[in-house]
Amino acid sequence: MNIGIVSQWWPPEPASYIPHDLANDLTARGHSVRVLTGFPNYPDGVIYPGYRQRWNERSHRDGVTVQRMPLYASHDASPPRRAANYLSFAATSSAAALRYFADVDVIYTYLTPATAAVAGTILKTLRRIPSVIHVQDLWPETVTGSAMVPEGRVGRTVDAMLHAVMRQLYRWTTSIAVIAPTMRDLVIRRGAKADNVRVVLNWADETLFRPVEATDQARREIGYRDRCTIMYAGTIGPLQNIEASVRAAAASQDAMDLVLVGSGIAQDAAQTLTAELGATNIRFRGRRPAADMPVLYAAADYQLVTLRNLPIFHGTIPSKLQAALSCGSPVVTSVPGDCAQIVEEHGIGLACAPDDWRGLAERFQHAAKLSRAEHNEMALRARETYDSRMSRRAGVDQIEDMLIEAAVSRREAR
């Protein structure tokens, strides 16, 4: 089968491992794969060293052909520049797709941003090439819930326009993969046919995240004190509500330690709050390279997954969950929606309601009371759950099925 893949992100960008893994695995399974992407500039909005933007730059690696198209490089806080980044790739990829994907059997689009779907939509309309989209975040909420859109009448107008566009996209697309059960329900309510939507949980970057043994050096780095240690790894920002985690840990000083590995705009406030509360069991360790994280995970007892209680997150499963489970680490979660249900259903950690620091403190203290045997059983279930439901193999299997079904539907319609 000839497969076209559209993804605005591609290696060496860090946000690109899912479409990259998919391309490599489909090629290994005997399919012919061509990729249409942009020039790498995420997350700083600057074209990476060694790349120069030009039309139709192609490369071949591991059997996959990759064509890069120019775009406006920007990832700063400016709404016009961010819009230009998204729309420029939509325009250049669509122009290239008409010839580059002329003979493919099906097109897969990694849907973040949603504007990446333009090329596939045009080809489905003009040449009846079936399209499979892999929805990673919900539009318009991703846009209207950020600083990209002003409040008031302009914001309401943009919201209405994007809702209309997304409803049409969901109706036209042959098949839709979504990353959480709640997202599936929402996409169906917004116009997709129920039979066309399938939940495909994201996988972790398995070249990095895997079970490893803890080292003495890693324990020293996180300040392990031979008692329950819970680690938060990632962005320290307002959406993660680190303040609640600090308050919960401060209320649990006799039971556990909280280690925060990462950085962000809310870090200074979190450190100030830690000092005000007199919490001696909270440590900030700054950012670490992704390659260092598995051994740091192993040095802690649990990974903390936390998000604010916002509508946009009810249909989202944070990537931190897959990374932790892939390493065989149990989790403590304070997240709305599907994430908590998965944790509780499979017995892979402890969950509480989001934005509830007292409930989170109770979960911290519960985690500290579990025996080593109970912790180890939970860790084993974590890895087993990842293998069966979230692994790269499981995800690629499902997406390959969707691509084959879409291609067959086109042949049967002729």
* pLDDT tens digits, one per residue of 201-249: 999 999 999 999 999 999 999 999 999 999 999 999 888 999 999 999 9
The pLDDT of 151-165, averaged and rounded, is 79
The predicted model scores a pTM of 0.89
- Do 183 and 316 contact (CB within 8 A), yes or no? yes
Dist CA 313 CA 186 (whole Å):
12
- Do 333 and 317 contact (CB within 8 A), yes or no? no
Dist CA 246 CA 236 (whole Å):
12
Is 289 in a helix, a strand, or coil? coil
Tell me if the domain spanning 216-390 has CATH number 3.40.50.2000: yes
The pLDDT of 71-86, averaged and rounded, is 89
- Is residue 346 predicted with pLDDT exceeding 80? yes
Comparing 2-203+391-413 with 216-390, is the CATH topology the same? yes
Q: Which two tokens stand for residue 51?
A: 């790349």
Instruction: Grade residue 142 by pLDDT with cuts at 50, 70 and 90.
Output: confident
Q: Which fold has domain 2-203+391-413?
A: Rossmann fold (3.40.50)
Contacts of 74 (CB under 8 A, 6+ apart): 41, 45, 81, 82, 84, 85
Domain ranges of the chain: 2-203+391-413, 216-390
Q: Beta strand 229-233 with 57-61: parallel, antiparallel or unpaired?
A: unpaired
Q: How far is CA 228 from the centre of its chain?
A: 28
Q: What is the pLDDT of residues 282-341, one digit of tens each?
A: 999 999 998 999 999 999 999 999 999 988 788 889 999 999 999 999 999 999 889 999
Other C-beta atoms closer than 10 Å to the C-beta of 71 total: 23
Sign of CA dihedral 370, 372, 378, 382: positive
The pLDDT value given to residue 145: 62
- Is residue 148 predicted with pLDDT exceeding 70? no
The pLDDT value given to residue 14: 86
